[in-house]
Amino acid sequence: MNVYSSTSPNANRLHDRLLKAVESATSAPSSHNTQPWKFEILQDRIELHADRSRRLPIVDPMDRALTISCGATLDHLCLAMHCDGLSTMVRVLPESENPDLLARVIVSGPHIPSDEERMMYDAIPKRRTNRAPFKEEPIDPQVKTDWLHDAAEHRCWLDMTEDKEEQHAIADLIDYGDRKQASNKAFRHELAQWVHSNNSPRTDGMPGYSHGFGDLASRFGRIMIRTFDWGDGQAAKDRQLAEGSPMLAVMGTNEDTPQAWIACGQALSRMLLRGTAHGLDASFMNQPIEVDALRFQLADLMDDDGFPQILLRWGKGKPVRPTPRRPVKEILI
């Protein structure tokens, strides 16, 4: 009898272990904290599905960022399974006729987690998107070397810069991207749908505190975002954050396909968790990637021929609160 079959006395225990892994996977980052994923637990496997009801058609019309987010949750999932002693076999996009089925993760036997896997798994609940200013402290060279390996392992490239002139040039693109997006009424309305007050019971989206707003100011955030063109102010703020960070990093791929986006998400997960484990913070500055006219200008700045997918700033900031997560029962099929 298969120890993982539905008639096995171990089946219920395995289901509980897989459920625990799914819970860890939901801590992955996503655009506007949309959490655009669904999971299905089937005996000895977990299937990861894109939840396109949570897509962002204005800022992410190709579902590129959505798919990258799902790649990150896939890596979180596998890491959690490995640290619970389960070896995995991953099949990405296993059914061509079902593009929403992004991955099938099969339990293939026992697994002894490495110290590095445990380090990254322990970082999952500690990771935050930190939009506060960062201290001017250099990034450990060994961490940067390890990040390069993480990217290469998933067939991605990673360019990092601590050069102030290069950071200024990238900040110019971020500045323009902020102004371009905020001038678009449809963009503002879409963003406002995912912003809520600090006291909201919502388990997705971005509470005001994630952008530094107090309880009172957070009550008016959605109205302000939807109604006014706030591009100049946001551009000035983001320019200061980008130019004042110890390091900016661009992660990209050689292809611009769903499979490449999933791989980028997996590499992003490793980069974020490794950074968190070493006491570092990160936040996304993807405006130059979200605005098509700027995306390849960013590639030119970084002297790369591929497709930029993620722009991060790295450093050490003050502690910030976590954003909410949906309960597991809401993301199960």
Question: What average pLDDT score do residues 143-160 get?
Answer: 98
Question: Looking at 36-40, 145-149, 225-229, which range is the least confident one?
Answer: 225-229
What is the percent of the chain where pLDDT is above 90? 90
pLDDT value, residue 217: 83
Higher pLDDT, 4 or 132: 132
Residues β-bridged to residue 256: none
Rg of the chain in Å (alpha carbons): 20
pLDDT value, residue 106: 98
Please identify which residue in the block is written with the tokens 């199960």. Answer: 332
pLDDT value, residue 8: 56
d(CA 123, CA 115): 13
pTM: 0.95
Domains recognised in the chain with CATH numbers:
11-129 (3.40.109.10), 141-315 (3.40.109.10)
pLDDT value, residue 1: 36
The token pair at 225 is 């975002």
pLDDT value, residue 2: 47
d(CA 23, CA 197): 25
Residue 123 has pLDDT above 80, yes or no: yes
d(CA 82, CA 71): 17
Q: What is the pLDDT of the chain when averaged over all its residues?
A: 95
pLDDT value, residue 3: 47
Question: Looking at 3-12, 49-58, 99-108, 253-262, which range is the least confident one?
Answer: 3-12
Closest CA to 68 of 259, 232, 214: 259
pLDDT value, residue 9: 52
Question: What average pLDDT score do residues 230-253 get?
Answer: 97
pLDDT per residue as tens digits for the range 173-198 = 999 999 999 999 999 999 999 999 99
